Chains A and B, each alone.
Chain A
Amino acid sequence: MIAMSVLHVFKSSQRSQQVVLDEDDDGDASYTQPTSSQVQKARENYTPVQVDRKVAEVVQFILIKDQKKIPIRRTDIVKHVIKEYKALYQDIMKRADRIFEQVFGLKLVEIDAKNHIYILINKLQPVPGEPISMCPGNPKTGLLFVILSVIFMKGGTVKESEYLEYLRIPHTEPLEHEFRWGQRAEKEVSKMKVLEFVGEVSPCLLHSVYSITLLYLSV
């Protein structure tokens, strides 16, 4: 599975290099806007059940990243989740967006329009008199999505877990706390405010995200 996704990334970055003279460089090497005929063809190519599953995986992926307080890059979503369904990226993201709002009461917000980085924010206001804490003792549990059933699966995507672990290291407990509190303190989240805040709290984390992803793209 790893070999396949690396190949796929390599191919797509080659393709984007070919058209780089014609297109604005939007800082996003592995995703280029599909043509409307490409989109149409992809819609015919994949069954609704297949696309449904991709949407579910994107939702899970984003929930997990959010739980780990990792801002979500479009490149990551395309590379790790959407893969060969790339032409349907817009369709899939639109549906994921709707699911976040209608099921979880969350909003996917783009905090970096150039590099296409997203975070999840809460559409529900914190309310006094919560019988159970919404922000329990261990802030890492956040929106909990820990999958233990993987212990029954053999074989590992070792590279992926190294990637995830690396990103965790700069993210110590006090940092997380502040991030969470920062989000909840904002009644109206403007892009600039959030970017500022994220930059303030964990500049090394953002740098790590960039450098690790670049490393992977270059393999």
Chain B
Amino acid sequence: MSRPMGDSHKRFLQTLMSNGIISSIQAKALHRHCCETHGAHYSADRLDEFIDVINANLQPMFMYIRKGMSEEDGVQYYALVNTAETDITRMSSDYADNELELFRKTMDLIVDSENGAASSTDVLNCADSLQTKKMKKKETELVLNKFVQDKWLNEKQGVYTLSTRCIIEMEQYMRLIYQDLIKVCHVCHNVAIQSQICENPTCGIQMHLPCVAIYFKGRSDPLCPACNQFWAHEIPVVTCTLSRPPEANGEAEL
């Protein structure tokens, strides 16, 4: 029997639903705001418990608030995700069949790439060979923009990457569909789309850039944790609010 939700929990959930994904800083502020608004007992270090209550109530609806890390800057986020496929979710997508197919092809390109990114040129080439319904250049650009607006893709100078929201939501599916093709971070064991790869051809382990920053912080001579070879990449600098990303095995959910 799950603990019942108070108005503070409901308000938190509604706000998260409106936004799809929020940073952990926003989540902390929202937690405090919701508790204060409804006179609920508030403790700053009890956010995870607070969210556990919501998740216990969401579980029967195949929904879950999941924590994940941005591959760009290591910031932690909370996203509302679906945990199961139903007839309803399948038929109620916001996107047309060919738009979904385009997204799938874009994701394929990104997962397949070394740098975890796809150029707009490459995506446009895919649009030309869609099986559902072909898409012209202008329409493809609009659809890609929609995906960026809806926070599924990031775009920078004509290059597309998977957003944090996308990775948090899709991680389990990506592992299932792509299997060995998908890279996994050696440090945090989560899926790693953008990563640094060990130059040793017999090693080849991958690490998220923020995970590299934490792991090699302060070391003048970075060595691969798996094979001890010199880690021949530029080590990113840790920015202020980095913390250890959640371990992949640490979740209890459907």
* A-to-B contact residues, CB < 8 Å: 1, 52-53, 55-57, 59-61, 64, 80-81, 99, 102-106, 122-124, 127, 129-136, 138, 141-153, 156-158, 160-161, 164-165
Docked pose: A146 CA to B147 CA in angstroms: 11
Docked pose: A144 CA to B65 CA in angstroms: 13
Q: Could you list some 23 contacts between A and B, CB below 8 A?
A: A56-B61, A57-B88, A60-B92, A61-B88, A81-B87, A81-B88, A102-B4, A103-B5, A141-B20, A143-B18, A147-B82, A147-B92, A148-B103, A148-B166, A148-B169, A149-B82, A149-B89, A149-B169, A150-B100, A153-B85, A153-B90, A161-B91, A161-B96
Q: Which B residues, 1 to 38, have Cβ-Cβ distances below 8 Å to chain A? A: 4-5, 7, 10-11, 13-15, 17-20, 22, 26, 29-30, 33, 37
**Are B87 and A57 interface neighbours, CB within 8 A?**
yes
Residue of A nearest to B89 (CB): A147
Q: Mark B72-99, 1 if CB is under 8 A from A, else 0.
A: 0000000010100111111111101100
Residue of B nearest to A81 (CB): B88
Q: How far is the CB of A113 from chain B (nearest CB, A)?
A: 26
Question: With a CB–CB cut-off of 8 A, which chain B residues contact A147?
Answer: 82, 89-90, 92-93
Docked pose: A164 CA to B96 CA in angstroms: 10
Docked pose: A160 CA to B87 CA in angstroms: 11
Selected contact of B18 from candidates A99, A127, A142, CB within 8 Å:
A142
Say yes or no: is B57 at the interface (Cβ < 8 Å to chain A): yes
**Given A124-B10, A151-B103, A158-B97, are A131 and B33 also a contact pair (CB < 8 Å)?**
yes
Question: With a CB–CB cut-off of 8 A, which chain A residues contact B87?
Answer: 1, 57, 81
Chain B: interface residue total (CB-CB under 8 A): 51
Interface of B, secondary structure class, is helix
Question: With a CB–CB cut-off of 8 A, which chain A residues contact B13?
Answer: 103-105
Question: With a CB–CB cut-off of 8 A, which chain A residues contact B88?
Answer: 57, 60-61, 64, 80-81
* From B22, B30, B89, B101, residue with most partner A Cβ within 10 Å: B89
**Are B101 and A151 interface neighbours, CB within 8 A?**
yes
**Given A103-B5, A151-B104, A161-B91, are A59 and B19 also a contact pair (CB < 8 Å)?**
no
Q: How far is the CB of B93 from chain A (nearest CB, A)?
A: 5
Say yes or no: is B152 at the interface (Cβ < 8 Å to chain A): yes
Q: Mark B44-63, 1 if CB is under 8 A from A, else 0.
A: 00000000000001101110
Docked pose: A128 CA to B158 CA in angstroms: 39
Say yes or no: is B211 at the interface (Cβ < 8 Å to chain A): no
Question: With a CB–CB cut-off of 8 A, which chain A residues contact B80?
Answer: 144
**Are B14 and A143 interface neighbours, CB within 8 A?**
yes
